[in-house]
């Protein structure tokens, strides 16, 4: 079979390739016109680039998408999905009937590619993400599972303006990723008009070469020129190559070719266009298959020998994160860690020291940090990403898209909240819970002590989707036994009695403030219940409902802005029409400055005294109402 494929591919002459490119154009015109929307012209510019790639260079077994030797093709300009689907059709992977289901409800052929299609590694459509993720895939093939697969990224020219592309350029150039080829479809026109550099290929080449890449320019509508460029890319052994292809948007159809105002829509007259392109074809390509390859073994579910902290010991949860990750990494050889040049702060340095071969320094480039991890999980690795919680906002769009990609990814954000102290608001994660909660399918965890943190790190290693762990800078006393379990979706009841007047719901640093407040209030004859809601998403609905029923009022206290955090999260247990409890919310409503951690908690009104005062007010008001 492999032999035949080789013969077939070798026999494909330039005329066949030109015809194949026309077929892709025709199919893009047909799919978009049938759908009544979609990006015909952006597909047409890159059709010849795709034809040469599919027929002569890509090594891929469409019958076995999980083949560890498969090349990776990432269409960064995801809006050109009709081109990708046309290529799948030529490869025999989708039928013409499915092609024409493009953009219909239930179809796998979405407006922008997603991994609902087994041959799509990651969702694209937010521009400037394909190359960053491709770097992670290519890096895996160099430093984790050395294999001869190649990574091909097809990007548009407009998206070269995204900073994330240059983070990726730097990363790939620095790592010398010769197994990575970027193909830039320079069709001159963005969505609303010409790009900055239009057809000045050298403007792109200068920039890319400066970042340590090889570049080659070609005529993106001449199969021989494209072939020569791809061949040159294969011949470069010490660095990645960018193929800069001069193309025309809407190539081949006079009504739209190289014309403004034709972005993101079907051609005006599909029948005429198909005729102009030489009619419907049904060419097939026998895509070359990769050689035999073995997937790296990934031992999941191993019981790690986690660090254990003694009750009363002062431990920063960021420390516990680093120590637990290093421990989990001992048995789980699939775990990799990536950090944004702050591993001494996030404590991923513990992992780095123990497992240097599986630690990746991504420097201060948070988009590329997350993208590299997404690329690695494409290859079956289990990545843990860490940086300051505040700086994860830099990667928000990549995190959002990771969810669309159905990626499995663990993220740890350190230095959460005002409790970091003197550094001030630029370094404080005060929006991270809101950001991560709103991402589809996410899990959000916020432990308050070392043992809880260690257990949750182990949980994350076996989890699905996006898992976020929020850690704190300062030390706090260990309150849990090392043997205690912390299931996702659980909580801990730390204080309770039959006479509780209210329930304080806390997480992370505020758990300790809540306990102090409860002890103080108990001394005043005001018993209160305290819940450690370490699982912020999903929340422990049963525990919250029971607390609401028993005490009538939930007081939430969090080191986060009032919106989208813990205070909003508890409501997840009460949005089905059942009676809701009274609610009191303590959160960071001020704009912090510099101050000690203790002063910060006091200024924000989330320390033990603020909690106690709010409880006293509530009790007084209830008493007054009762009287």
Tokens of 481: 């036994």
Tokens of 619: 């009790």
Among 137, 404, 466, 533, binds its own copies (CB under 8 A): 404
Q: Quote the distance between the C-alpha of residue 326 and its chain's center.
A: 22
Nearer to its own copies, 165 or 287 (CB): 165
Cα separation, 552 vs 503, whole angstroms? 8
Closest residue by Cα to residue 191 from 102, 99, 80: 80
The least CB distance from residue 36 to its own copies, in Å, is: 8
Q: Which residue pairs from 516-524 have beta carbons closer than 8 angstroms and sit at least 24 positions apart in sequence?
A: 516/608, 517/608, 517/609, 517/611, 517/612, 517/615, 518/494, 520/608, 520/612, 521/612, 521/615, 521/616, 522/495, 524/616
Tokens of 594: 């510099």
The least CB distance from residue 205 to its own copies, in Å, is: 9
Nearer to its own copies, 139 or 287 (CB): 139
Q: How many CB atoms lie within 10 A of CB 399?
A: 25
The least CB distance from residue 561 to its own copies, in Å, is: 5
Q: Where are the alpha helices (DSSP H) in 36-186?
A: 40-45, 47-52, 81-90, 96-99, 130-139, 163-175
How many residues lie near its own copies (CB under 8 A)?
114
> Which one of the spans 323-331, 374-382, 478-486, 568-576 is the region binding its own copies (CB under 8 A)?
568-576
> Which one of the spans 125-133, 179-187, 226-234, 472-480 is the region binding its own copies (CB under 8 A)?
125-133
- From residue 182 to residue 221, what is the string marking binding to its own copies with x (rule CB under 8 A)? --------xxx--xx---------xx-xxx----------
> Which one of the spans 111-119, 326-334, 407-415, 476-484 is the region binding its own copies (CB under 8 A)?
111-119
545 near its own copies (CB under 8 A): no
Cα separation, 437 vs 425, whole angstroms? 21
Nearer to its own copies, 158 or 472 (CB): 158
- CA triplet 194, 133, 374: central angle to 5 degrees? 140
The least CB distance from residue 128 to its own copies, in Å, is: 7
312 near its own copies (CB under 8 A): no
> Which one of the spans 21-29, 146-154, 327-335, 566-574 is the region binding its own copies (CB under 8 A)?
566-574
559, β-bridge pairs: none
The least CB distance from residue 397 to its own copies, in Å, is: 4
Among 176, 296, 562, 605, binds its own copies (CB under 8 A): 562
Q: What is the DSSP letter of 383?
A: E
464 near its own copies (CB under 8 A): no
Taking CB under 8 A as the criterion, which residues in 420-449 touch its own copies?
A: 421-427, 430-431, 434-435, 437-441
Nearer to its own copies, 185 or 568 (CB): 568
535, β-bridge pairs: 445
599 near its own copies (CB under 8 A): yes
The least CB distance from residue 211 to its own copies, in Å, is: 6
Asked whether the beta carbons of 511 and 354 are under 8 A apart, the reply is no
Among 16, 219, 393, 545, binds its own copies (CB under 8 A): 393
Between β-strands 582-586 and 475-477, what pairing exists: parallel, antiparallel or unpaired? unpaired
Tokens of 54: 């599919």
123 near its own copies (CB under 8 A): yes
Nearer to its own copies, 137 or 430 (CB): 430
Taking CB under 8 A as the criterion, which residues in 126-185 touch its own copies?
A: 126-128, 158-159, 161-167, 170, 174
Cα separation, 272 vs 550, whole angstroms? 72
- CA triplet 385, 391, 392: central angle to 5 degrees? 45
Is 498 part of the annotated catalytic residue set?
A: no
Cα separation, 301 vs 620, whole angstroms? 51
Q: Which of 366, 431, 459, 513 is an active site residue?
A: 366
Cα separation, 32 vs 35, whole angstroms? 5
> Which one of the spans 91-99, 214-222, 291-299, 595-603 is the region binding its own copies (CB under 8 A)?
595-603
Taking CB under 8 A as the criterion, which residues in 254-293 touch its own copies?
A: none
Entry field: residues in the chain: 627
| Phi, psi (degrees; rounded to nearest 5) at 271 | -65, -45
Nearer to its own copies, 146 or 163 (CB): 163
> Which one of the spans 63-71, 179-187, 275-283, 570-578 is the region binding its own copies (CB under 8 A)?
570-578
Q: What is the DSSP letter of 426?
A: G
Q: Quote the distance between the C-alpha of residue 592 and its chain's center.
A: 30
Taking CB under 8 A as the criterion, which residues in 346-385 touch its own copies?
A: 349, 363-365, 367-368
**Which residues touch 106 (CB under 8 Å, ≥6 apart)?**
none
Nearer to its own copies, 345 or 451 (CB): 345
Nearer to its own copies, 13 or 104 (CB): 104
The least CB distance from residue 52 to its own copies, in Å, is: 27
579 near its own copies (CB under 8 A): yes
Among 143, 259, 281, 582, binds its own copies (CB under 8 A): 582
- From residue 59 to residue 78, what is the string marking binding to its own copies with x (rule CB under 8 A)? -------------------x
Cα separation, 544 vs 524, whole angstroms? 25
Taking CB under 8 A as the criterion, which residues in 80-109 touch its own copies?
A: 102-107, 109
The least CB distance from residue 608 to its own copies, in Å, is: 18
Among 45, 181, 317, 345, binds its own copies (CB under 8 A): 345
* Burial environment of residue 621 by CB neighbours within 10 A (0 to 12, 13 to 18, 19 or more): exposed
Q: Kindly list the catalytic residues.
A: 366
């Amino acid at each position: 079979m492999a032999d035949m494929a080789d013969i077939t591919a070798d026999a494909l002459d330039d005329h066949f390739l030109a015809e194949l490119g026309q077929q892709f154009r025709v199919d893009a015109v047909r799919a978009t016109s049938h759908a009544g929307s979609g990006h015909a012209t952006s597909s047409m510019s890159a059709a010849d680039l795709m034809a040469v790639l599919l027929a002569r260079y890509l090594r891929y077994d469409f019958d076995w998408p999980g083949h560890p030797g498969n090349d990776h093709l990432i269409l960064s300009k995801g809006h050109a999905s009709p081109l990708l689907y046309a290529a799948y059709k030529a490869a025999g992977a989708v039928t013409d009937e499915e092609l024409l289901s493009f953009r219909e409800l239930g179809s796998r052929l979405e407006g922008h590619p997603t991994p609902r299609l087994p041959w799509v590694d990651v969702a694209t459509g937010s521009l400037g993400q394909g190359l960053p993720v491709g770097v992670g895939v290519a890096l895996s093939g160099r430093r984790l599972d050395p294999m001869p697969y190649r990574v091909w990224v097809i990007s548009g020219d407009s998206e070269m303006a995204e900073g994330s592309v240059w983070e990726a350029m730097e990363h790939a150039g620095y790592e010398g990723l010769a197994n990575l080829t970027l193909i830039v479809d320079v069709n001159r026109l963005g969505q609303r008009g010409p790009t900055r550099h239009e057809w000045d290929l050298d403007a792109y080449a200068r920039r890319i070469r400066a970042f340590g890449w090889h570049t080659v320019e070609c005529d993106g509508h001449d199969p021989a020129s494209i072939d020569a460029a791809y061949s040159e890319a294969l011949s470069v052994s010490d660095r990645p190559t960018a193929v800069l292809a001069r193309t025309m948007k809407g190539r081949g159809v006079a009504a739209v070719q190289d014309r403004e105002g034709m972005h993101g829509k079907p051609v005006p007259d599909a029948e005429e266009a198909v005729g102009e392109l030489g009619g419907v074809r049904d060419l097939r390509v026998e895509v070359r298959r990769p050689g035999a390859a073995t997937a790296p073994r990934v031992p999941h579910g191993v019981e790690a020998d986690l660090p254990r902290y003694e009750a009363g010991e002062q431990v920063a949860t960021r420390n516990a994160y680093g120590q637990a990750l290093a421990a989990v990494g001992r048995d789980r050889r699939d775990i990799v860690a990536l950090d944004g040049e702050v591993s001494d702060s996030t404590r991923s340095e513990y992992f780095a020291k123990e497992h240097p071969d599986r630690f990746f320094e991504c420097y201060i480039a948070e988009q590329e940090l997350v993208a590299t991890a997404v690329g690695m999980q494409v290859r079956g690795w289990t990545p843990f990403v860490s940086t300051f919680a505040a700086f994860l906002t830099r990667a928000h769009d990549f995190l959002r898209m990771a969810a669309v990609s159905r990626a499995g990814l663990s993220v740890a954000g350190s230095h959460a909240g005002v409790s970091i102290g003197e550094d001030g608001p630029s370094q404080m994660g005060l929006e991270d819970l809101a950001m991560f909660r709103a991402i589809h399918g996410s899990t959000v965890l916020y432990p308050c002590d070392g043992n809880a943190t260690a257990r949750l790190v182990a949980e994350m290693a076996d989890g699905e989707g996006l898992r976020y762990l929020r850690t704190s800078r300062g030390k706090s006393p260990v309150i849990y036994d090392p043997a205690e379990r912390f299931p996702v979706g659980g909580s801990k009841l730390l204080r309770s009695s039959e006479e509780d007047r209210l329930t304080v719901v806390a997480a992370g640093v505020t758990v300790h403030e809540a306990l102090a407040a409860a002890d103080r209030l108990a001394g005043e004859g005001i018993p209160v219940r305290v819940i450690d809601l370490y699982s912020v998403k999903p929340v422990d609905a049963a525990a919250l409902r029971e607390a609401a029923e028993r005490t009538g009022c939930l007081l939430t206290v969090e080191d986060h802005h009032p919106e989208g955090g813990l205070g909003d999260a508890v409501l997840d247990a009460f949005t089905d029409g059942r009676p809701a409890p009274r609610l009191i919310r303590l959160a960071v409503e001020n704009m912090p400055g510099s101050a000690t951690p203790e002063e910060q908690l006091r200024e924000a009104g989330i320390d033990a005294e603020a909690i106690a005062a709010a409880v006293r007010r509530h009790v007084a008001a209830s008493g007054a109402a009762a009287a």
